Amino acid sequence: MSYPPQNPYGPQPGQQPQYGYPQQQPQQPPQPSPYGPYPGGGGMPGMQPQYPVAMPGGAKTARVLLFVLAGVNLIGLILSVMGLSGVSKASHGLSPYSAAEDATSINISQGLLIAAIVIIVVFTVLAITLALQFANGGNGVRVGSIVFGVGTLILSLSTFPLGLVHTILGIMVIAFISKDESKYWFNRPRY
């Protein structure tokens, strides 16, 4: 036993005491966990989740698909307008003595084509608007895109053989926008 007792926190024997500020240890960058992120969050419990700074691939793909759907809708709009003009020419060619059933069927055809044109215009405008909002839109754009995809899917199933392209694209929009990476993109904080 030595006298006085040794202090494990004091200066070592033979060293001169330091005056002023104590020297700091060099800062180490935080090391990533070898076990992956904490379940249910971005990192450790109590930490803020890490949000993406660039649009993820799923959101980019959904955006491109919305533009493709708008282009396909424009093609359908052109065909519907051409069909309406053909039906209108046929209605002008009817003689006043023709059967009432012919006039009724032509009026029903014109009404259905006008309804189709209105629906196509609404869906085209929605697709373009939603696609343009992907860069800075919030969770409402994501929800709107999912609702748009479901609406496209329902309408395309009612015209299945002709609406096969819309069916496939609607399913793909729903799938890509529902991914977790897309959810994090649309829920990120905006400054």
Question: How many Cα atoms within 13 Å fall on the side-chain side of residue 11?
Answer: 8
pTM of the model: 0.67
How does residue 55 score in pLDDT terms, banded at 50, 70 and 90? confident
pLDDT 10s digits, 148-173: 999 999 998 888 788 899 999 999 99
Please give the C-alpha separations between residue 21 and each of 12, 14, 16, 17, 120, in angstroms, as whole numbers. Answer: 18, 21, 15, 12, 73
Residue owning tokens 């969050």: 41
pLDDT at 129: 94
pLDDT at 73: 92
CA distance 52 to 43: 14
Average of per-residue pLDDT values in the chain? 80
Q: Are 171 and 178 in contact (CB under 8 A)?
A: no
How does residue 87 score in pLDDT terms, banded at 50, 70 and 90? confident
pLDDT at 31: 62
Structure tokens at 190: 């905006």
CA distance 6 to 10: 8
Query: What proportion of the chain, given as a percentage, has pLDDT over 70?
Result: 68
